[in-house]
Amino acid sequence: MQTFFGLVSVLIVFVWLGGKQVFPLQPICDLRVLDHFVREARDSVVIMRGSRGGCGAMKSYFVPLTSVDFAFWEHIDVQELAVEVQTGLSLLVQALSTAMKAVSNSRLANALDNNISNIHSLSQILHSLDLQHARSTVLPDDSAPASTQTQEVSSLPELLQVQSSFLRGKVRLLLSAAPACQRQNS
């Protein structure tokens, strides 16, 4: 009986700790990781140009907006940016998965699959930055309407271009401006 109660108490303690997130992830602030993903996204573009029928079927994909202007950079709202980045990454994953199924070239399909896994890794990196508010508000129909957050492209080359621009622009800016990384650098 006593052992039973002891075990139960230990279990309760663990559950409470898990909820409290006593062991946070170490923030991953090294931009070279992102640069690696950017290079692999560029490789997909090269493979696509070199393969026959690389364009695939003409489909419409909903992809995030990628534009960033430096005026915006001067007054960055990290939380808002985090929401944008998370939404955009999920949209990209959906679009890339759809395109991968339509592509016949195995090499290109492998490259697209690699891009998808890279985006998943990016999500983990952003999670390590402890952007609490971003997690809670990652909903497509929250805050801004989806149309203002997305754009439509009609071919795989455009999709890959959007992916490259998004990674180099908004995602990179968020990693540079994240408070956890700022604390590390300073």
Partner 1 sequence: MTKMSDRLKIVFMLCVAFVTTGGQHFESKVAQLLQDETEDIKCFVELKDLTCFWEEEEERNDLQYTFTYSYENKNKMACVVSSLSLLASNKTVFFCKLPKTPFFTTLDVQVFRDGRMLYSRSLNAENYLFLDPPRNLTVLSSGKEGQLNVSWLPPLLKYMDDSMIYEVRYAVEGSNMGKVEVIKVSTMLVLLGLQSDTRYKVWVRVKPDGVAYKGYWSAWTEPVLGVTQPSDLDPLIMVLVLFIGLILCLLSMTVILSHHKFLLKKLWPDIPTPEHKFPGLFTVYKGDFKEWMSQNNSSMWGRSVQVYTEELPSPLEVLSEVSLTSHGTSQREERKPVEEDEEKESERSDSGLTDRWREPPQAHWLMEQLRALQENPQSLSQSLLVQSHDTYVTLNQNSQGDGEREVDDVFEETLPLQTLFTTTGTTSLSTSHSDLGSLQQSSGSGRLSSQSSFEYPNQTWPPKGPGYTYMAVADSGVSMDYSPMSSSRITELGRHRMYTNDYKNEIFLHKWPLFGEHNKSGSESCMGPVW
Contact residues toward partner 1 (CB under 8 A) are 31, 35, 38-39, 65-71, 73-74, 151-152, 161, 165-166, 168-170, 172-173, 176-177
Other CB atoms within 10 A of residue 122 CB: 22
Which of 76/105 has CB closer to partner 1?
Answer: 76
Residue type, position 59, single letter = K
| CB 87 to partner 1: min, Å | 16
CB 136 within 8 A of CB 116: no
Partnered with residue 64 across adjacent β-strands are 150
| CB 74 to partner 1: min, Å | 8
Which of 136/182 has CB closer to partner 1?
Answer: 182
Structure tokens at 52: 């026959």
| CB 4 to partner 1: min, Å | 56
**Which among 97, 111, 145, 117 is positioned nearest to 42, based on CA atoms?**
111
Distance, in Å, from the CA atom of 162 to the CA atom of 89, rounded to the nearest integer, reads 11
Helix axes 106-128, 78-102, angle to 10 degrees: 160
| CB 147 to partner 1: min, Å | 11
Which of 67/143 has CB closer to partner 1?
Answer: 67
Which of 109/155 has CB closer to partner 1?
Answer: 155
